[in-house]
Amino acid sequence: MSDRKYFGTDGIRGKVGESKINPEFVMKLGWAAGKVLAGTGTNKVLIGKDTRISGYMLESALEAGLSAAGINIGLLGPMPTPAIAYLTKTFRSEAGIVISASHNPYYDNGIKFFSADGMKLDDEIEIAIEQQMDRPMECVASDRLGKAARIDDAAGRYIEFCKANFPSDLSLKGLKIVVDCAHGATYHIAPNVLSELGAEVIEIGTKPDGLNINHKVGATSMKAVTECVLENNADLGFALDGDGDRIMLVDHKGNVIDGDQIVYIIARDVLKSGNLKGGVVGTVMSNLGLEVALATLGVPFARSNVGDRYVMELLKQKGWSIGGEGSGHVLNLAAASTGDGIVAGLQVLAAMLHAEMTLNELSQGMVKYPQTLINVRFTDGKQPLDDKLVKRAVIDAEKALENKGRVLLRKSGTEPLIRVMVEANDAQDSSTWAEYIADAVRKVNE
């Protein structure tokens, strides 16, 4: 992604009002995207957003830019990111645009695009949009301006899509489920999906005011949903993030079940049904316990770079279907074209019912290895990863851990930080060797 001026691994994101997330830039982006997409035969683009207050402003700017390029617009209102991917296909639109900064605070926002098949745009199209941004903005003739219309039944369509991903011979009747929607885009979707499938639903994080998205709720802040599960003696809890593409779970004992464990539970259930296609993709940060547990089942495992975009790329390359990240991005391409928190949660519920187990019992098949992560700041210009002292420290750690752990060093893409991660089957070993390597990095920076 180093050759990009605007697009990152997950679209364009930043603080509202700054260089990229402001009305002027976003209107130009809408126009540039419209010009490029029009060149591929596009006539209609869908726009959806999460619940941030800035979404209204950015939606209007995108609408103006697309209209100026001659593109018709379908306005979905607040909708989860995976819903926009699905509806782009359903409405036969040429592209879908999401206004969201996912799990970030309300003062951030972003823009990301989906192609007609519900996948993220190809690199070539993103580059073409960036190149178009450098050209003067022009408006088509008045009789060719794009028209905009609200799509009123979008939520209902997506609710039915989610329910269709739950086996028709199963019911959630008798289950009490806490649903934390992070005051985000799933607030009017997830509770309805679960209640219509028969569950008793307790809602939290379903009262967005434009400023409270992800604030002390949702997949990045598990305290609220954990406490609610325990207080209400619920069977489990769902915690979604602001745009609904990530999910974390809580079992009836208050234990957090992360993305790695969710991937394992889904993969094992699909394997038992005889429908597992190939293996499973995680990332370089996926817990070693996931790899070990899948190996026990005879399931191949591959690691991509960090980011659901890279998980998707490797899945497509290998022709596999299931993958994800510990943060809660879970992909099952047999069910949805992108990471979908609600659908992933439903697949876990189906696995519970198939196995006749609680979520706590179901998660026992994967034992998480203790993991220590240390961030070490370095001075610009230094190259700690290339230093002999650091390389020697890594060799020492790997030799000591042998097959009982692993070491990962990587440079942050946004800050001058080296991230030192060590996993081991013993927590003390994990901590000791992470500190050993981190000390070597610090010495290089002296």
Give the catalytic positions in this structure: 102
Burial degree of 296 (CB within 10 A; 0-12, 13-18, 19+): exposed
The overall longest dimension of the chain from CA atoms, in Å, is 72
Residue 428's CB is within 10 A of a number of other CB atoms, namely 10
Report how far Cα 283 is from the mean position of its chain's Cα atoms: 13
Task: Return the exposure string of 323-351: e unless at least 16 CB atoms fall within 10 Å of the residue's CB, then b.
Answer: bbbbbbbbbbbebbbbbbbbbbbbbbbbb
Amino acid type, 76: L
Query: Angle of helix 81-90 relative to helix 341-355, nearest 10 degrees?
Result: 100
> HSE (CB half, 13 Å, CA atoms) of 431?
3
Burial degree of 19 (CB within 10 A; 0-12, 13-18, 19+): exposed
Helix (H) or strand (E) holding 405: strand 405-411
- Distance in angstroms (rounded) separating the CA atoms of residues 128 and 306: 25
- Distance in angstroms (rounded) separating the CA atoms of residues 125 and 37: 8
- Distance in angstroms (rounded) separating the CA atoms of residues 434 and 406: 10
Amino acid type, 5: K
Cβ(247)–Cβ(139) below 8 Å? no
Task: For residue 250, list its beta bridge partners.
Answer: 237, 256
- The 3-state DSSP class for residue 437 equals helix
Long-range contacts of the stretch 136-145 (C-beta < 8 A, 24+): 137/28, 137/31, 137/65, 137/68, 138/68, 139/68, 140/68, 140/69, 140/70, 144/70, 145/67, 145/68, 145/70
- Closest to 188 (Cα-Cα) out of 109, 76, 265: 76
> HSE (CB half, 13 Å, CA atoms) of 390?
21
